[in-house]
Structure formats: C-alpha cells, structure tokens
C-alpha cells in the first residue's frame, strides 16, 4: 500500500509554521501536546499533535515508521470511524515531529464531565457500533490500540459521529510476543494487563470498551482503582477471583501485582464477587453487550466482530452509520479487485516466459511433463506417422508375443473374431511415455503401423465384432 500520510522534512523557509497558524492548546498528554491550528492557504482548522520527543536534525524512513500514528495511517485505509493523519512535519530547529489530523472538537470525556450521562439507549447503541467497527478493522489488520478510553473517543457532527483517535501506543499484534506492561490507562486496563508482564492481545481493547460503555450508561467509572493493586481488587469484588486454571495461565508471565496478590499475601482468600449483573442490571442499555465484554478470561471475551453480529445491532440497519460502513467496504472491495487484476497481469507475463508444467494420469501413476518435452514428442510422433503412412499398404505380420496393441478372442460357439482396438489418444500417451514403455523402438514400429491400419478399417469391423455371445467386450487399457 502506498503511504497515505504526506511526510515533510523541510527547511525553515517552508515548514509547518509557514503553512499553519497555531491558535490555542486544546489538550496535553504524557508524550504530546494538541493544538488548534489553521491552514493559511484555505483557512481550515486542523488538530496539530506535537510530540515532546526530540528526533534530532534529520529523520529517515525508519524513524518515520517508528512513529505509531504514521505507521497506522500508512498501513490502513481511511476508515469512517478511525481518526487518520493528514500529514506530518519534522522541524529541524527543535527536532520535533508535528502530526496533522482532522479537528474533532469534543470527546466522550467532555460529555461525561458535562453531566450528560447517562445517555439514551439509542445513542449508546450508535456509539458502540462505531467503536466496535473501528476496532474490528484495526484488529483484523493486526493492530492493538492499547489505550481505549473516553478521552480518545472523539465526536463531531452534533455528537452523532465518533472516531477513535490517539494511536500513539498502538502496536502490531504478534503471537507469543511480550508487549509493554503499562500501556492502557489504569481504570480501563484489563486483568491480563494487570496480572502479567505484557502478555495480552486485542481482547484488551474489548475490555476497555466495556468500561467505556458502563461509564456513558451510568456516568461513573466501573473500576476506579487508586493503583494497580487496588484496581485488580475492585475487579475481583465484581467478577470474583480467577479460577485455578486461569491463575496458572497468568502465573507463567506473572507481574508484580500478581506476586503481591497471590504469592506474598497467601492469607488473602479468593473473592467470590457479586457479579456484573449486580452493578449493571440486565434491564440497562446494552447489557447483552457488556456481559460478553467484561469477562475475566480473555479467551472467553467476545471479539469485536462477534459482538457486531449480535441481534442488539439490528436497529442500526439502514441508518447513516451502516451506510458509511457499506461505502467503506465497497471502497476496499474495489481496491482489492484492482490489486488482483495487477497481480493477475503480472502472473500471465511470468507464465508466458516460463514452461508450464502439466500433470497427466497414466497406468503407472502421475507423471509430470514439461510442455517443451511434450512438443518434442509431438514432432517425433508426426515424423513417425509420415513414415508409417508410406508403408501402410504393406503391413507386417502380427507377432503375438511382442504385440500389445490388440487382443484376439475366439468364441467357443463360433469362429467370429473380436478385435479390441486401442484408442488413438492412448497411442499418443504411449508415445509420450517412450522412456518408460519404449513404444517408439524398432520392435514396436510394426505394432504402430498395424494399429493405424486397424483404425482405418475399424468402422466396418466393429459392427461385426461388437458383441460375442451377447456380451460386451471391454477394451483392456493400453500398456
């Protein structure tokens, strides 16, 4: 896939500051600041994310690819529910990288802080649909977001359309690979992130989404631990302590939280848990979703694709949200067809320059023939046929010991002769397998001439010898 992000290593005369005007800071995190900026050429507003790390005077392709936001935007198509980058700049003076994206003026965090929660059931449904569709596309393409929280769910169009943003901690999902231990924000961190040293997968995003669902449906966080130990304690109070099988699974890659909870404090009894249905009752919005998202064991936690197939989302059909996904899937399909046509064209060019291998079934099993060899055999057969045609008027006497081209059957009741005539294609196949059967040897040339004569006279002969004693004579295979 060609890069989707315009990368710029420009001098001071043509830099980010020459194209954009900074207006105000609209957000700040541990590794970056987000500013509202205006493009001078058209007056449009954008969000400029300035990374705090100093990348030096020059930035090569590997450095650009190491920036998670750039990597994700270049690896994926522009999804309707993912906030992709528009361009990226490197300022040589201070070594900073600046990432430009669409401006989203509000997030779910702002809605929660403004006291708008709990949201209506339909609004929760549309938000969950968009979040899960974005995560499904990420996960199917091998990415884990690792920081799903209300602050990173951004809103526009009168808070109807949302996009998942901030791919600063996003990584590729690789089996049996240990990731960073502390990534997701504590309140939205899954049990496997708390109890292991970085042994998790894309299901951690599903847990975090379940926590976000609870928060916009109630206005309060589900697990608001003061630290990692308190966080896992609150999880156990609701879901109960993990069973022995799951505990052994976590123990293989145990974290400091696991050691403190299950090894150092052995007097700590296992908690039964009150159950999710006690803190989020089944009559509440999207209960059938959250019960399969807030699950202790990640292997039993539903994937985004599986959650989207639930009847809960039937109401989304034929809405603007589904139309957006239809258009996106149509775009992906068209690009796939174009890519396949290019691959097919290259394949045809390659095949035309190479010898094709064909496979034929014979009496001795499968034989692989090269088309070049096949064409040579055809020329030999043509020359032999020409020679045989000259001598066909003087056929040699049939040697029963050497001939393998016919079988003479004499009936006990009468003196009619039944001649089994081999098929012409069997003769050709026999000639092609000359190394195995020596059909084209001097001894067998006589047999071929006889067979050709019999072929020319087969019409009149077959009508007389087709049946012997009212039984059909099966032709034996050519050997």
What are residue 357's DSSP bridge partners? 370
Please state, rounded to an integer, the average pLDDT across all residues of the chain: 77
Spatial contact of 122 and 83, defined as CB atoms under 8 Å apart = no
49 labeled binding residue: yes
Which residue bears the tokens 């989207």? 308
| pLDDT reading at 88 higher than 90 | yes
Residue 157: pLDDT band with limits 50, 70, 90: confident
Mean pLDDT confidence for 257-279: 84
> Residue 307 pLDDT more than 60?
yes
Higher pLDDT, 119 or 388: 119
Nearest-angstrom CA–CA distance, 257 and 253: 11
> Helix H segments across 101-240?
108-113, 121-140, 191-195, 203-218, 228-239
Three-class secondary structure assignment of 98-124: EEEEECCCEEHHHHHHCCCCCCCHHHH
pLDDT digits (tens, 9 = 90+) for 309-320: 999 999 999 999
Is 263's pLDDT higher than 90? no
What is residue 300's predicted lDDT score, i.e. its pLDDT? 96
Lowest mean pLDDT among 41-55, 135-149, 432-446: 432-446
Contact 45, 103 (CB under 8 A): yes
Token reading at 412: 């006990």
Q: What is the pLDDT of residue 165?
A: 94
Say if residues 215 and 252 touch (Cβ distance below 8 Å). no
In percent, the amount of the chain with pLDDT more than 70 equals 65
- Residue 466 pLDDT: 43
Q: Which residues of 16-32 are buried (b: 16+ CB within 10 A; e: fewer)?
A: beebbeeeeeeeeeeeb
Rg (CA), the chain: 38
Give the model's pLDDT for residue 184: 73
In this predicted model, what pLDDT tens digit does every residue of 416-475 receive, in sequence order?
A: 444 444 554 444 444 444 444 444 444 455 555 555 555 555 544 444 444 444 444 444
pLDDT: which is higher, 116 or 472: 116
DSSP string, 300-311: TSPPHHHHHTSG
Q: Are 88 and 73 in contact (CB under 8 A)?
A: no
Distance CA 225, CA 191 (A): 13
159 contact partners, CB below 8 Å, separation of at least 6: 106, 111
Residue 334 binned pLDDT confidence (cut-offs 50, 70, 90): confident
Q: What pLDDT score does 28 carry?
A: 85
Calpha distance 351→355 (Å, rounded): 7
Pairing mode of beta strands 171-172, 357-362: unpaired
pLDDT confidence tier of residue 267, bands split at 50, 70 and 90: low
What pLDDT does 450 receive? Answer: 56
Q: What is the mean pLDDT of residues 164-182?
A: 75
pTM summary value: 0.69
Catalytic residues: 147
The pLDDT value given to residue 234: 96
Q: Is the pLDDT of residue 124 over 80?
A: yes
151-173 burial, b at 16+ Cβ within 10 Å, e below that, comes to bbbbbeeebebbbbbbbbbbbee
Furthest C-alpha separation in the chain = 113
> Has residue 378 got a pLDDT over 90?
no
State residue 344's pLDDT score.
57
Determine what percent of the chain is predicted with pLDDT higher than 90. 51
CB-neighbour burial class of residue 198 (10 A; exposed 0-12, middle 13-18, buried 19+)? middle
Residue 394 has pLDDT above 70, yes or no: no
């Amino acid at each position: 896939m060609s890069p989707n992000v315009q990368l710029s290593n420009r001098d001071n005369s043509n830099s980010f500051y020459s194209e954009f005007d900074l207006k105000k800071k609209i957000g700040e995190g541990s590794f970056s600041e987000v500013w509202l900026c205006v493009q001078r050429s058209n007056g449009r507003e954008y969000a400029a994310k300035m990374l705090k790390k100093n990348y030096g005077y020059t930035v090569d392709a590997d450095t650009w690819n190491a920036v998670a936001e750039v990597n994700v935007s270049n690896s994926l198509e522009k999804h309707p529910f993912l906030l992709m980058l528009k361009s990226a700049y490197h300022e040589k003076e201070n070594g900073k990288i600046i990432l430009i994206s669409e401006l989203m003026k509000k997030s779910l965090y702002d809605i929660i802080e403004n006291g708008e929660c709990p949201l209506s059931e339909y609004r929760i449904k549309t938000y969950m649909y968009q979040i899960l569709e974005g995560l499904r596309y990420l996960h199917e393409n091998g990415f884990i977001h690792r920081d799903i929280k209300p602050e990173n769910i951004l809103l526009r169009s009168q808070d109807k359309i949302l996009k998942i943003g901030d791919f600063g901690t996003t990584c590729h999902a690789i089996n049996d690979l240990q990731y960073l231990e502390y990534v997701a924000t504590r309140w939205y961190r899954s049990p496997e992130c708390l109890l292991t040293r970085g042994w998790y997968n894309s299901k951690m995003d599903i847990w975090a989404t379940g926590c976000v669902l609870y928060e916009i449906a109630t206005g309060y966080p589900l697990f608001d631990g003061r630290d990692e130990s308190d966080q896992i304690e609150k999880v156990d109070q609701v879901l109960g302590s993990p069973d022995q099988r799951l505990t052994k699974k976590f123990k293989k890659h145990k974290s400091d939280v696991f050691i403190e909870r299950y090894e150092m404090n052995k007097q700590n009894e296992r908690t039964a848990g009150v159950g999710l249905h006690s803190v989020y009752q089944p009559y509440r919005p999207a209960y059938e979703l959250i019960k399969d998202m807030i699950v202790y064991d990640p292997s039993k936690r539903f994937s985004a694709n599986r959650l989207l197939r639930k009847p809960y989302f039937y109401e989304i059909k034929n809405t603007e949200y589904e139309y957006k996904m239809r258009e996106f899937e149509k775009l992906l399909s068209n690009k796939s067809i174009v890519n396949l046509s290019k691959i097919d064209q290259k394949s045809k060019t390659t095949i035309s320059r190479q010898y094709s291998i064909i496979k034929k079934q014979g009496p001795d099993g499968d034989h692989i023939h090269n088309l070049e060899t096949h064409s040579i055999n055809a020329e030999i057969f043509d020359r032999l046929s020409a020679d045989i045609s000259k001598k066909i008027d003087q056929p040699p006497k049939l040697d029963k010991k050497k001939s393998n081209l016919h079988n003479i059957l004499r009936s006990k009741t009468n003196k009619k002769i039944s001649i089994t005539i081999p098929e012409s294609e069997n003769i050709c196949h026999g000639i092609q397998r000359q190394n195995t059967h020596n059909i084209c040897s001097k001894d067998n040339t006589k047999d071929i001439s006889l067979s050709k004569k019999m072929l020319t006279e087969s019409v009149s002969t077959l009508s007389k010898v087709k049946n012997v004693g009212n039984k059909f004579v099966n032709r034996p295979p050519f050997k």
